Amino acid sequence: MAKFDSQLFDIGYMDTLAVGKTSLHTLDPRAKLVTTMVFIGTVVSFGKYDISALIPFVIFPIVLVAWGGLPTAYLIKKIMIVSPFAFFIGIFNPLIDQTVIMHMGSLHITGGWISFASILLRFALTVGAALVLISLTGFHAVCMGLEKLGVPRPFVVQLLFLYRYIFVLMDEAGRMIRARALRSFNSNGRSLKIFGSMIGHLLLRTMDRAQRIHLAMCCRGFDGHIRLIHPMAFGIREAAFVLGWSALFISMRLYNIPHILGKLVTEFVL
Amino acid sequence: MHMADALISPATGGLMWAATAGLITYCSTKAKNDLDDTKVPLMGVLGAFIFAAQMINFTIPATGSSGHLGGGLILAILLGPSAAFLTMASVLTIQAFFFADGGLLALGCNIFNLGFFPCFIAYPLIYKKIVGMRPTKGRILTASLIAGVVGLQLGAFSVVLETVFSSISELPFNTFILMMLPIHLGIGIVEGLATAAVVLFVFKARPEILNAASQSRPLGNLSINHVLASLLGVAIITGGALSWFASAHPDGLEWSMAKVSGTEELENPEHGIHASLSGIQEHTAFLPDYAFKTAHGEEGDMESETAWPAVDAGTSLSGLVGGTLTLFIAALIGFSVKRRKNA
Amino acid sequence: MSHHIVEAQNLHFTYPDGTLGIKGISFRITHGESVAVVGANGAGKSTLLQHLNGYLIPSSGDLRIGDYPLTKKTINEVRRSVGMVFQDPDDQLFMPTVFDDVAFGPLNLGLPEQDVIQRVNQALETVGMMHVIKRPPYKLSGGEKRSVAIATVLAMSPDILVMDEPSSNLDPLARRRLIGLLKSFHHTKIIATHDLDMALELCERTIVIHGGQITADSATLDLFQNEQLLKESGLEAPLSMQGCPVCSKTAKGFQPPTQDHSHTH
């Protein structure tokens, strides 16, 4: 329950962040979408034992967070909490791949640990980029951008509708859960039968609501098509944003910056 | 069961994206041509309903742990395959954006795994066949259970294939499949039970809802074979293009095959074919060809063998120093941007 | 402007499952009138209201809205002239932002973008909600939601406003603001409500429905003084007309809507 309360809070909070007024917020959503996809694509294209070459990529989320005035601690916490799946699958790498490939004093590091670390780093980068995108843009604008990028209208409308009613329905479900918790003792209120009738009631109410919404839409001339006004301008600013970052990503893909840097330093010192 | 960006290669991600995009386009076209415009708000609120329903859990009989509704199957029963697929896709998209469940590149995989199988396989081929035109309590229960289990098993199987083809995880196919299938058998039973509980409630309270759903929504005149065939075409093209693109930036680790065969130029197109072949494999055969698998595994091994020297002791020190330095510089840039913004 | 009439003649409606909705309702509401429709739960108010925008088609009887008899063919014209405000604003505000929601209707009318934007601004200014234009509906308070819901309807420039329980779920201040807003409109208004005090303030005429039939149709004040009738229809007199809860006297020389009632009587 608490988990879902916090989920609801998260959605609302990230939408609040998206109301910001920085030049990043006002950038055409398409520019941010495309750049984020290029970023993710480049990050996942690295080999599975790459760690150092991935590090420079943190520059993208860091600069965006700083520029857009996003709360760093909140985003880091969010990245830490999510997706046990990646961790769960990744942790098998050190178990299976035990070839020692690196010695640091008496410490022997196996290929499995390297690839595990690489998975976690990729995970942090890709998830971080997605969170930054939504916090800087807002879901609504992301959807508008998707539509202009060619995602079919019915799917975009579906996303918008779903997003609109998440709050209403989660609220309704929350009230039902509280009512159940107050009247069930020892957990015998959580049987499958009661579950079926709770969800069933919620479902019937939801379907009635759909009917009322449809009525409200018809009253305002709905004819099966949703029309939206969203002036978007993909100008020089946007082009510079996309091209500039993409060029950086690609050069970071081609040149291992930490490697070069480290070589310079170690050669100089030693 | 969400796939994550961190576990997939660009080729797998791109391929599944292409497959999912094709399905979304197909379903959107169907939705657009659907004369029943009451479905527009219905799909929207039912998507939100899935979120809300996942908040409500129940005690799994005889275990004491709790389960909840997954969604794909109940949506298919209420809306029919294509509308249900769009709705499930929208649920997963929101999860990817807000809860970072999976990630944007893995979204294609996730929509396919959790949307395609329940909506286009489990519902029409299993649930509908068992329940038929005259539903009874027993039939609904049996159908939901079998369809729930099959849908999730196929999804889990697909997760395994995607992970293995990406070869980021070291998990070998056999181990992984032996791990995933039993877990998802349990999850599938829970999904089947939860779905049956809800459907039975609706069946008792307002049976007309279920009748309307099962009667007025055939798969349409566009046959699914047709769609699958064109999907395959799209997948091959994208897979090929993507791997060509990826190999246009050769890197000592990833495309080490190039070294083995000598010239990059010769190797590139072949790699493209290989990648798209694995795509075909994924789409056509649910039972993988083991010969093909080992070939793939060998390539992975070769990759790793040639990969070792890249991280030898000498370079690892400079890598460590350089990495720390890079992180430091990145943080510094971040701070100075923030400073400048606040000033 | 005689065409803003709403005229029902012997309307009957039975639901597909056999439930009787309304039986034999007739009335005539003329331009500029403000009429309250009151009745207990399940009396048939909502069924009647759903006929006024053509969502339900009467089983028998005639309904004329403006210049058109209500049929399947004229449904679009009827919906353009009747603005319907729903009981739950969450049903009415289905678009992602307030702007999109208010623009939804005008866009469906096929107006050019510039006109749509102008209409949105005008409607939001009328209800005093310009400051929430970019917000998503879930971030609005109950009172704000209600005002925006009214704006979505105003943007269609309807001739007739039909409202279902406009004051439900509002805090006293928001309710007061709403009443002030509705008073400022010169549309023909039909308001279904349980809030008899609001009916008293806003509507000079009231129609009482009971068991799917009209049991009374007259001046609001007269009607609310008929205790027998109210009781039979499952209602009770508005609070402002009941005895003072402290000294149980009724204000003398009762003057709706603002009565001078202090404890000096």
Q: What is the DSSP letter of B114?
A: I
Closest by Cβ to A209, choosing from C80, C91, C138: C91
Can you give the residue range of the structural domain that contains A192?
152-225
Does the pLDDT at position B158 exceed 50?
Answer: yes
- Give me the pLDDT at residue A13, please: 81
Rounded to whole angstroms, how far apart are CA atoms B26 and B44?
Answer: 18
CB contact under 8 A, B341 and A69: yes
Nearest Cα of chain A lies from the Cα of B37 at a distance, in angstroms, of 5
- Give me the pLDDT at residue C150, please: 92
CB contact under 8 A, A12 and C138: yes
- Give me the pLDDT at residue B306, please: 36
Taking a C-beta distance cutoff of 8 angstroms, is the pair A85, A93 a contact? Answer: no
ipTM (interface predicted TM): 0.85
* Count of Cβ atoms closer than 10 Å to residue C113 Cβ: 13
Does the pLDDT at position B242 exceed 50?
Answer: no
Tell which wins on pLDDT, C258 or B82: B82
Interfacial residues of A (vs C; Cβ cutoff 8 Å): 12, 15, 19, 139-140, 143, 160-161, 163-165, 167-168, 209, 212-213, 215-223, 226-229
**Residue A93: which residues within 8 A CB-CB, separation 6 or more?**
A111, A112, A113, A115, A116, A119, B169, B170, B171
**A189 and A212 part of one domain:** yes
Tell which wins on pLDDT, B266 or A124: A124
Contact B308/A at CB under 8 A: yes
Does the pLDDT at position C94 exceed 80?
Answer: yes
Rounded to whole angstroms, how far apart are CA atoms B155 and B113?
Answer: 4
- Number of domains, chain A: 2
B330 to chain A: nearest residue by CA?
A: A59
25-64 of A, contacting B, C-beta below 8 A: 36-37, 40-41, 43-52, 55-56, 58-59, 62-63
- Give me the pLDDT at residue B317, please: 65
CB contact under 8 A, A218 and C55: yes
Q: Tens digits of per-residue pLDDT, A127-175? A: 889 889 988 988 888 998 998 888 998 999 999 999 989 888 888 888 8
- Give me the pLDDT at residue A112, please: 82
Q: Tens digits of per-residue pLDDT, A208-230? A: 899 889 888 888 888 878 888 87
Give, in degrees to the nearest 5, the angle at Cα A171 between A169 and A176: 95
Q: Tens digits of per-residue pLDDT, C162-195? A: 999 999 888 888 899 999 999 988 889 999 998 9
**A201 and A255 part of one domain:** no
Give, in degrees to the nearest 5, the angle at Cα B209 between A166 and C12: 105
Contact C254/A at CB under 8 A: no
**A87 and A137 part of one domain:** yes
- Residue B16 buriedness (CB in 10 A; 0-12 / 13-18 / 19+): buried
At residue C255 the predicted structure's pLDDT band, cuts being 50, 70 and 90, is: low
At residue A75 the predicted structure's pLDDT band, cuts being 50, 70 and 90, is: confident
CB contact under 8 A, C86 and A212: yes
**A157 and A242 part of one domain:** no
Rounded to whole angstroms, how far apart are CA atoms C41 and C25?
Answer: 17
CATH number of the domain within which B22 lies: 1.10.1760.20
Nearest Cα of chain C lies from the Cα of A168 at a distance, in angstroms, of 8
**A23 and A115 part of one domain:** yes
- Identify the residue whose tokens are 């000033």: B343
CB contact under 8 A, A160 and C88: no
Contact B269/A at CB under 8 A: no
**Residue C214: which residues within 8 A CB-CB, separation 6 or more?**
C25, C26, C27, C207, C208
- Of the ranges A119-123, B227-231, B338-342, which is most confident? A119-123
Closest by Cβ to A122, choosing from B6, B44, B303: B6
Rounded to whole angstroms, how far apart are CA atoms A58 and B330?
Answer: 7
Spatial CA neighbour of A226 closest among C107, B337, B322: C107
Q: Which of A195, A208, A209, A260 to mutate to test the interface with B (most CBs of B within 10 A)?
A: A195
Does the pLDDT at position C20 exceed 90?
Answer: no
Mean pLDDT score of chain A, rounded to an integer? 84
Contact B332/A at CB under 8 A: no
Structure tokens at C244: 């003072």
Report CA Rg, chain A: 24
Residue length of chain B: 343
Rounded to whole angstroms, how far apart are CA atoms A157 and A227?
Answer: 10
A170 to chain B: nearest residue by CA?
A: B52
**A68 and A200 part of one domain:** no
Nearest Cα of chain A lies from the Cα of C84 at a distance, in angstroms, of 7
Tell which wins on pLDDT, B313 or A178: A178
- Number of domains, chain B: 1
Rounded to whole angstroms, how far apart are CA atoms A266 and B125?
Answer: 64
- Give me the pLDDT at residue C225, please: 87
Chain A hits for C90, CB-CB cut-off 8 Å, are 168, 209
Tell which wins on pLDDT, B316 or A21: A21
Rounded to whole angstroms, how far apart are CA atoms B254 and B252?
Answer: 6
Q: What is the DSSP letter of C253?
A: S
Q: Tens digits of per-residue pLDDT, B83-122? A: 999 999 999 998 888 876 777 888 999 999 999 999 999 9
Q: Tens digits of per-residue pLDDT, B213-234? A: 655 444 344 455 555 555 555 5
Contact B66/A at CB under 8 A: yes
Contact C90/A at CB under 8 A: yes
Nearest Cα of chain A lies from the Cα of C150 at a distance, in angstroms, of 12
The reply to whether A71 falls in a domain is yes
**Residue A71: which residues within 8 A CB-CB, separation 6 or more?**
A17
Does the pLDDT at position C142 exceed 50?
Answer: yes
Does the pLDDT at position B281 exceed 50?
Answer: no
- Give me the pLDDT at residue B274, please: 39
Taking a C-beta distance cutoff of 8 angstroms, is the pair A200, B205 a contact? Answer: yes
Rounded to whole angstroms, how far apart are CA atoms B121 and B225?
Answer: 12
Chain B hits for A1, CB-CB cut-off 8 Å, are 55
CB contact under 8 A, B249 and A210: no
The reply to whether A58 falls in a domain is yes
Q: What percent of chain B has pLDDT over 70?
A: 64
The reply to whether A12 falls in a domain is no
Rounded to whole angstroms, how far apart are CA atoms B324 and B317?
Answer: 11
CB contact under 8 A, A220 and C108: yes
**A132 and A89 part of one domain:** yes
Is the model's pTM score more than 0.95? no
Chain C hits for A217, CB-CB cut-off 8 Å, are 94, 104
CB contact under 8 A, A191 and B58: yes
210-249 of C, contacting A, C-beta below 8 A: none
* Count of Cβ atoms closer than 10 Å to residue B98 Cβ: 22
Stretch (H or E) spanning C212? none
101-120 of C, contacting A, C-beta below 8 A: 103-105, 107-109, 113, 116-117
141-170 of A, contacting B, C-beta below 8 A: 142, 151-155, 157-166, 168-170
**A79 and A189 part of one domain:** no
CB contact under 8 A, B322 and A134: no
- The predicted model gives B177-187 an average pLDDT of 85
Taking a C-beta distance cutoff of 8 angstroms, is the pair A234, B235 a contact? Answer: no
The reply to whether A3 falls in a domain is no
Tell which wins on pLDDT, C18 or B270: C18
Q: Which of C75, C84, C91 to mutate to test the interface with A (most CBs of A within 10 A)?
A: C91
- The predicted model gives B279-294 an average pLDDT of 34
Q: Tens digits of per-residue pLDDT, C34-86? A: 999 998 888 888 889 888 888 888 888 888 888 778 887 888 888 888 889 99
Q: Tens digits of per-residue pLDDT, A185-202? A: 766 667 788 888 888 889
Closest by Cβ to A212, choosing from C76, C91, C103: C91
> Mapping DSSP to helix (H, G, I), strand (E, B) and coil, where does residue A89 land?
helix
Does the pLDDT at position A236 exceed 70?
Answer: yes
Contact B33/A at CB under 8 A: no
Can you give the residue range of the structural domain that contains B171?
5-342
- Give me the pLDDT at residue C155, please: 92
How many CB pairs lie under 8 A apart between chains A and B? Answer: 381
**A112 and A177 part of one domain:** no
The reply to whether A7 falls in a domain is no
**A253 and A179 part of one domain:** no
At residue A60 the predicted structure's pLDDT band, cuts being 50, 70 and 90, is: very high
Nearest Cα of chain C lies from the Cα of A239 at a distance, in angstroms, of 26
**A56 and A160 part of one domain:** no
Report CA Rg, chain C: 19
Rounded to whole angstroms, how far apart are CA atoms A72 and A178?
Answer: 33
Q: Is A249 left (phi over 0), alpha (psi -120 to 50) or beta?
A: alpha
- Give me the pLDDT at residue C65, please: 87
**A72 and A206 part of one domain:** no
Nearest Cα of chain A lies from the Cα of C43 at a distance, in angstroms, of 19
At residue C27 the predicted structure's pLDDT band, cuts being 50, 70 and 90, is: very high
Does the pLDDT at position C104 exceed 70?
Answer: yes
At residue B267 the predicted structure's pLDDT band, cuts being 50, 70 and 90, is: very low
Rounded to whole angstroms, how far apart are CA atoms B272 and B162?
Answer: 17
CB contact under 8 A, A214 and B334: no
What is the pairing mode between strands C188-192 and C205-210? unpaired
- Give me the pLDDT at residue B220, please: 41
